[in-house]
Chains A and B, each alone.
Chain A
Amino acid sequence: MKLREIAHSRTGDKGNTSNISVIAYDEKHYPLLLKQVTSERVKAHFSGVVEGEVVRYELPNIAALNFVMSCALGGGVTRSLALDAHGKSLSSALLDMEIEADSDNE
C-alpha cells in the first residue's frame, strides 16, 4: 500500500531546509512508520531533489515522525529557481512511498 493510506503529511521550509511531517492516522500504525519510513528511504525517495542529509525525529506522543532535509530547496526559498520554491508539494510525493502491511500491527 501507499504511505498515504496510513499517514498524513505537511511540508515546511526554512532557508534551504525542508521539513516533512509524517503522522499516523491511527496510532497503531506508528510502529510501521518507525520501521519502514527511515531517513535512508526518504533520502532515496527524494533522489534528485534533496542534496543534503535527512534527519528523522520521533514523536511517539502524537504518533508522528519529522524529517529534516538539508539542501532541499534549490539554494533556499528566497533565491530558488524552482516553481514551488517553498517545496510545499514535497509532502504529496512522500505519501506516494510504498509501505508493506505488517500483520503484527493490523
Chain B
Amino acid sequence: MRTIRVGSGAGYSGDRIEPAVELAEKGDIHYLVFECLGERTVALAQQARMKDPDSGYDPLLEERMRAALPVCASKGIKIVTNMGAANSVAAARRTAEIARSLGLSSLRIAAVVGDDVLDACKDGDLPIMEFDGTIKQLGNRLLSANAYLGAEPMAAALTGGADIVITGRASDPALFLAPMIHAFGWAMDDWNRLGQGTVAGHLLECAGQITGGYFADPGYKDIPDLARLGFPIGEVGEDGSLVITKVAGSGGAVTAQTCKEQLLYEVHDPKQYIQPDVVADFSQVKVEEIAPDRVRVSGGRGTKRTGTLKVSVGYVDSYIGEGQISYAGPGALARGRLALEIVRERLKLTGVAASEFRFELIGVDSLHGAEVSAHANEPYEVRVRVTGRTENLREAVRIGNEVETLYTNGPAAGGGAFKSARDVVAVASVLLPRELVRPQVRFVEA
C-alpha cells in the first residue's frame, strides 16, 4: 500500500522556524505544510494590500522560505501553505525571487486565488452567524470577506506539477488533505476517506500542539525537552490509515493523550465537523500507542459536504483602551483594589464614553473573574488592569491615561504602568452558496 509522510511545519503565523527545517532534513517527509493564517489575519493583510498592492501576504514568508527551500528542493519535498493571506500571487512571485536568490531553479510555484469573495458578499445581504445583523449593516466598516476553500484547488495545483502551493484563506485541515487527494487520487465524494483525511489534517494543523506543546502540566503531564519541541509527521496510507509521529531525537512526545487532546481542540459536535470538502465525523475515532512516539488514529468517517462555504468577514468593530500598573508587598491587594476604585470613579467623573469596561487584578481575578477566583489566597503582587471598548481612538486613549496617572495620584508605590489604545479588527462569519466561489490556480516559475 502506498503511504505518504506529511510534516506540519508551523501551527500559527509566528511559530518557531527551525522545527520545520528539522522535519525536512530528518523527517523523511514528502510534503511540508505551513499553517500560518489566523482568523483575522486576512483582514489585516487586506488592509496592508490596499496600501501596497505587492504586499498582503505573511510577513514571515521570506524567513520561512529561506530556511526551508534549500533542503525541500534538494529532497523533492513539496510545500503547501496558506502564507498567501490576502495576496497569494504576490507571495508566489516573492517565493520565486527567493528561490532564484538561493540558486534554485525550475521550481514550479502555484498560487491559489478565488477565496476573496467580498464582491459576492456585498451583492447579497447575508446574515451574520455570530450576532444579529447582516453584511450590509456593517456598511463601510466591512474590510474583507474570504471563503474557506477546500482541498480541491491545492490538489489540482500539485497534480499540475507544483513544487510549492501558496493559498490564501482555506480550511486548515484541507492544507493536509490536498496532498492525500493528489497522491492517492481519492474521489471528492469518497466521504469516509475525506473524513479520515480530515482527522489527519485536524491533528496536524496546530503543529506542536500534538507533540507535547500546550500540554505539559508538571507532575501530571510531563513532556521532555519543550525548548526543542519536534513538529509532527502524519504517515497516511492510501486507505486512510494514519500514524502520528515525529523526528527521532527531537523534543516533546506523541502519546495517546496528546492525540486525544488535539482531536477535540476547537471541535464542537464531534459527529459534525463541517469542512468545505466533507462533514467529518470524529465520534468513532480510536487512538492507540503502537510504539514510542507512534500513535495510530483510526475510525474517522464523513458524510456529504454542505452546499455552502463559510466566509470569514473582517470589519472594524471598535477601539480598545487599556492601562496597567503593579503593586507589591504587604497590602498589595488592598492597594490594587483601591486603584481600581479610583480609576472607576475617574472614568465617570471625566465622562469617558465606553460601551463596556473590565476592572481586574492580574494575579487575582483577571482570567476567570471574581466568582471563579473567590477562594484564592492573597498574592505577593498584583497588577491592576482596566480596559474598555470605545467608538474612537481619542476615547480609548483616555482609559490608559486614567491608569497611568495613578503614579502620582493613586495608592502608594504603584510601578510599571503601561497603556495602549488600538482599533479592533474583528471577524464574523457568513455562509455563502458554494457555486458563488470559483477558485483558480496560477503558476509562477522560478
| Proximity string of chain B (254-285) to chain A, C-beta cutoff 8 Å, 1 when within and 0 when not | 00010011111111111100000000001111
For residue A52, give the distance in angstroms from its CB to the closest CB of chain B. Answer: 12
A75→B261 CA distance, assembly (Å) = 25
Whether the Cβ atoms of A49 and B369 lie closer than 8 Å is yes
In the bound complex, residues from chain A placing their C-beta under 8 Å from that of B385 are: 83
Q: Is B368 touching A93 in the complex (CB atoms < 8 A)?
A: yes
Asked whether B291 is an interface residue with its Cβ less than 8 Å from the other chain, the reply is no
Please tell me which one of the listed residues B40, B263, B358, B429 contacts residue A62 in the complex, with CB atoms under 8 A apart.
B263
Q: Is the CB–CB distance between A78 and B40 below 8 Å?
A: yes
Find chain A residues with CB under 8 A from B318 CB.
79
Does B290 reach chain A (CB closer than 8 Å)? Answer: no
Docked CA distance A62–B283 (Å): 9
**Could you tell me if A76 and B426 are in contact, using CB atoms closer than 8 angstroms?**
yes
Query: Is A12 part of the binding interface, using a Cβ–Cβ cutoff of 8 Å?
Result: yes
Interchain CB contact under 8 A, B372 and A78: no
B372 and A45 contact, CB distance less than 8 A: yes
Per-residue interface assignment for chain B, residues 376 to 398, with 1 indicating a CB less than 8 Å from any chain A CB and 0 otherwise: 00000000010111000000000
Closest-by-CB residue of A relative to B374 is A48
Mask: chain A, 25-59; 1 = CB below 8 Å from B; 0 = not? 10000000000000000000111110000000101
Question: Which candidate, B214-222, B225-233, B344-352, is the interface stretch facing chain A?
Answer: B214-222
> What's the minimum C-beta distance from A17 to chain B, rounded to whole angstroms?
7
Contact A48 B372 (CB under 8 A): yes
Chain A residues numbered 63-87 whose CB sits less than 8 Å from any CB in chain B: 64, 66, 68, 75-79, 81-84
A-B contact count (CB 8 A): 123
Interface residues of B in 129-144 (CB under 8 A from A): 129-130
B132 to chain A, nearest CB (A): 13
Question: A64–B372 contact, CB under 8 A?
Answer: no
Q: Are A21 and B268 in contact (CB under 8 A)?
A: no
Q: Does A61 contact B (CB under 8 A)?
A: yes
Chain A residue, CB-CB nearest to B324? A83
Instruction: Please tell me if B119 contacts chain A, counting CB pairs below 8 Å.
Output: no
Chain A hits for B429, CB < 8 A:
15
| Smallest beta-carbon distance A2→chain B, Å | 11
Q: Which of chain B's residues has its CB closest to A74's CB? A: B358
Contact, CB under 8 Å: B264 / A15: no
Instruction: Choose one: A46, A79, A88, A93; the contact of B426 (CB below 8 Å).
Output: A79
Task: Give the shortest distance, in Å, between B22 (CB) and chain A (any CB).
Answer: 25
Q: Are the C-beta atoms of A49 and B372 separated by less than 8 Å?
A: yes
Asked if A8 contacts B220 (CB within 8 A), the reply is: yes
Most buried by A among B129, B371, B425: B371
CB neighbours (8 Å) of A93 from chain B are: 367-368, 372
Chain B: how many interface residues by the 8 Å CB criterion?
Answer: 54
Assess whether B80 is interfacial by the CB under 8 Å rule. Answer: no
Interface centre among A13, A57, A88 (most CB of B within 10 A): A57
CA–CA, A4 and B366, complex, Å = 22
**Complex alpha-carbon distance, A88 and B356, angstroms:** 22
- Note all chain A residues with C-beta closer than 8 A to B357: 81
Contacts A78-B427, A83-B385 hold; do A15 and B368 have CB atoms under 8 A apart?
no
Contact, CB under 8 Å: A23 / B388: no
Which of A61, A64, A78 has most chain B Cβ within 10 Å? A78
Smallest beta-carbon distance A48→chain B, Å: 4
Query: What residues of chain A lie closer than 8 Å to B266, measured between beta carbons?
Result: 12-14, 19
Asked if B261 and A78 make an inter-chain contact with CB atoms under 8 angstroms apart, the answer reads no
- Interchain CB contact under 8 A, A46 and B387: no
The residue that A23 contacts in the complex, of B214, B257, B286, B426, with Cβ under 8 A, is B257
In the bound complex, do residue A48 and residue B369 qualify as a contact, i.e. CB atoms below 8 Å apart?
Answer: yes
In the complex, A48→B368 CA distance in Å?
8
Which residues of chain B in 408-446 are interfacial with respect to chain A, using CB atoms and an 8 Å cutoff? 424-429
- CB of A62 within 8 A of CB of B287, answer yes
B contact residues around A68 at 8 Å (CB): 268-269
Question: Which residue in chain A gives the minimum CB-CB distance to B284?
Answer: A61
Contact between A78 and B287 (Cβ–Cβ < 8 Å)?
Answer: no
Q: Is B320 an interface residue (CB 8 A)?
A: yes
Flag whether B334 is at the interface (Cβ < 8 A).
Answer: no
B368 touches which of A19, A64, A89 (Cβ 8 Å): A89
Q: Complex formed: what's the CA distance from A4 to B260 in Å?
A: 16
In the complex the two chains form, what is the Cα distance from A57 to B425 in whole Å?
32
CA A25 to CA B388, docked complex, whole Å: 41
A35 to chain B, nearest CB (A): 20
Closest 3 CB pairs of A and B: A12-B266, A48-B371, A21-B264
- Give me 28 A-to-B residue pairs in the complex whose CB atoms sit less than 8 angstroms apart, sorted by A's number: A8-B261, A12-B267, A15-B428, A19-B264, A19-B266, A19-B268, A21-B265, A25-B257, A46-B372, A48-B370, A48-B372, A49-B371, A57-B270, A57-B271, A59-B270, A59-B283, A62-B263, A64-B260, A66-B270, A77-B39, A78-B427, A79-B389, A81-B356, A81-B357, A81-B358, A82-B367, A84-B366, A84-B367
Q: Besides the contacts A61-B299, A64-B264, A79-B317, what 8 more A-B pairs have beta carbons closer than 8 Å?
A: A8-B217, A8-B257, A23-B257, A47-B371, A61-B285, A79-B426, A83-B360, A89-B367
